[in-house]
Chain A
Amino acid sequence: MTSSDERNEPPADGTSAEASPDPAASRARFIRTLVRVLSVQVVALALLWILQARYHG
């Protein structure tokens, strides 16, 4: 992280927000993220389940 990253000064032309990238690439990236999120949740829930199964009661 650089200080210029943190300062987030707008570009010289005054249009600060970037245009969204290609929709197909965006969709593919979102699906990849979705799979990763679901995988992390499955692992988190599995760990909680193991904790309960091993130690509860």
Chain B
Amino acid sequence: MHPINWLIVVGYIGYVLVDGVRRSKGTDKIEGYFLANRSLPWWALGLSVMATQLSAVTMIGTTGQGATDGLRFVQFYFGLPLAMIILGVTLVPFLHGAKVYTAYEYLERRFGPGTRSATSFLFLLSRGMSVGTILAAPGVVFSAIFGWPLIWSVALIGVPTVAYTMLGGIQAVTWADVKQMILIILALLGILFVLFAQMPVSPDEALRIAGSTGRLKVFDFSFTLTEQYTFWSGILGGTFLMLSYFGTDQSQVQRYLAAKNVDEARSSLMISAYWKIPLQGLVLLVGVLVFVYYLFVAPPLLFNPDHEAQVRSADPAAYGALETRFDQAFTEREAVALEVADLRSAGDVAAADAAMERFLTQEAEVQEIRGEALAMAEEVTGQSSRDVNYIIPRFALNELPIGLSGIFIAAIMAAAMSSISSELNSLSTTTIIDFYRRWVRPEASDTHYLNVSKIATLFWGAFACVVATFAATLGSLIEVVNRFGSFFYGSILGVFLLAMVPRTNGWGAGIGLVSGMGSVAYFTFFQPQIAFLWHNVIGAVVVLVVGTTVSALTGGSEAAGA
């Protein structure tokens, strides 16, 4: 990478660190450290909520998904605005009004300490592991692209993030998120501009070519439980998923608990309601246009440079032959794509349509050769050869102008850091408030709690770095934990909804939670064809039904306190 790009990346890391240390000065009490004295403005919290949700996986994985699969993934977010509105009138006033530090603290008041400990433990288990994978995703890509050991990439992102989160608490996290969100949007808009400017066809023709390959198909109205992304799974399943995430996940709840009042807490969520779908559309559109860009500029046969090197060294003759075929197929596809654009601009629609048919045949040929190369990479490396996460980083490094590449790499780091810092802050909060202060040291000074909170942040940061460093060897374990996490996402939402139903009790919550998780486990293992978005609906509904029934059978709210 060019020194100017490195300068931008290093400058960004330095700025985040210095700003984090500056913000730590006003944080000398636990309420300031975890909730910023409930005084943060709604717009900063709203941007922080968005930045937390937009991780490096979004920057590299979702853009890559746009390049290979098109815009249809945006349907996943169709339920988000509805979820934000529902939360605005239900859980937000409940939790903010309860003056709690964690969402789970509220459950103790309603159902007793058992429910609080169970839900907060499930949060720590799943989020502790997932923060490692959030760090590992860009770490693995950076390592392959820059040729570094994984531990360097993990340290480059992890160490500054842990430092400013530990020192500055939620103040540093939120204000860093605001700047990181602005950097991410600027980088995406910059890439979009460069893509349109550098392509040899008009934006209209670029979109027409992308559309011909199916990449601009957004809406799928088929009502099937087995298709992952449809309009209906987005609206219904997506609403439940977003309700679970924004309503019960401490990394999100903690944002709006830090607002000045309920109105500001609601308004912070509304920023996501306004902008999430357009932003996600922009992210995917960048990916789609990178696909079109590579119709006119020769892409690598394999985007993962590490796999490319291994395959080339293992069987140079076979890989060389594939590359020759790929170059020829690319040249023919490029010629037909330009012909389509020329015919269309000349007004010869019939000939352009006929040329488009030939373009699609050539496109299929290119993809077939790529498929053979990916299969070869899988055989040689023994790893999954899916290289969707490498498309955009390689494009950014090889094709973007100097300066913008650096901004984009810094934006990927910003996306990772904003998610990781919020997770670390919420993991620390839950550890201290729901376990340490609740069960170990109920009475201690604020200074003591502040110090152990910083130690907890450091612990979770170190844990995340270790998980990320050994991500490859821990692969199956992480998958198991993540899968386990998906069992209770909808179920925990069910417990929170149950808390708003009159005369429900701790027995109902406990048995409902186990039943909800059991139901989702059943569908995961025995009905795997059911798309995962529906699991959240199943989990929440089972908890509600079982919870209210058990509560009624065990004497209603008189039995609370279990």
Q: Is the interface of B mostly helix, strand, loop or mixed?
A: helix
Q: Which of B40, B74, B89 contacts A8 (CB 8 A)?
A: B40
Q: Would you give the shortest CB distance from B176 to chain A, in whole angstroms?
A: 11
Q: Would you give the shortest CB distance from B554 to chain A, in whole angstroms?
A: 35
Given contacts A9-B26, A18-B260, A34-B85, contact A44 B281 (CB under 8 A): yes
Given contacts A6-B175, A20-B261, A37-B85, contact A56 B214 (CB under 8 A): yes
Which residues of chain A come closer than 8 Å to B266, judged between CB atoms? 30, 33
Number of A-B contacts (CB under 8 A): 100
Given contacts A21-B263, A37-B270, contact A48 B218 (CB under 8 A): yes
Q: Which of A6, A40, A48, A57 contacts B274 (CB 8 A)?
A: A40
A13-40 residues at the B interface, CB under 8 angstroms: 16-21, 26, 29-30, 33-34, 36-38, 40
A-contacting 9-mer, from B31-39, B120-128, B241-249: B31-39
Which residues of chain B come closer than 8 Å to A20, judged between CB atoms? 97, 261-263
Which residues of chain B come closer than 8 Å to A52, judged between CB atoms? 71, 211, 216-219
A56 pairs with B260, CB closer than 8 A: no
Q: Would you give the shortest CB distance from B102 to chain A, in whole angstroms?
A: 16
B496-532 residues at the A interface, CB under 8 angstroms: none
A53 CA to B525 CA, complexed, in Å:
38
A48 pairs with B211, CB closer than 8 A: no
B81 pairs with A7, CB closer than 8 A: no
A17 pairs with B37, CB closer than 8 A: yes
Residue B389 lies at the interface, judged by CB distance under 8 Å to chain A: no
A54 CA to B217 CA, complexed, in Å:
10
A29 CA to B42 CA, complexed, in Å:
14
Which residues of chain B come closer than 8 Å to A21, judged between CB atoms? 261, 263
Closest-by-CB residue of B relative to A16 is B37
Which residues of chain B come closer than 8 Å to A6, judged between CB atoms? 23, 175
B71 pairs with A48, CB closer than 8 A: yes
A41 pairs with B277, CB closer than 8 A: yes
Q: Which of A8, A29, A54 contacts B263 (CB 8 A)?
A: A29
A16 CA to B40 CA, complexed, in Å:
10
A36 CA to B167 CA, complexed, in Å:
38
Which residues of chain B come closer than 8 Å to A51, judged between CB atoms? 71, 207, 216, 218
Q: Would you give the shortest CB distance from B371 to chain A, in whole angstroms?
A: 24
B36 pairs with A48, CB closer than 8 A: no
A49 pairs with B37, CB closer than 8 A: no
A55 CA to B264 CA, complexed, in Å:
40
A49 CA to B88 CA, complexed, in Å:
28
A10 CA to B278 CA, complexed, in Å:
36
B37 pairs with A10, CB closer than 8 A: yes
What are 18 inter-chain pairs, A to B, with CB distance below 8 A? A6-B23, A6-B175, A8-B171, A10-B32, A10-B39, A17-B99, A29-B263, A37-B274, A38-B81, A40-B274, A41-B273, A41-B277, A45-B78, A48-B218, A48-B281, A51-B71, A52-B211, A55-B216
Known: A5-B41, A17-B261. 12 other contacts (CB 8 A): A6-B175, A7-B23, A8-B39, A18-B264, A19-B261, A30-B266, A37-B81, A41-B81, A55-B211, A55-B216, A56-B214, A57-B217
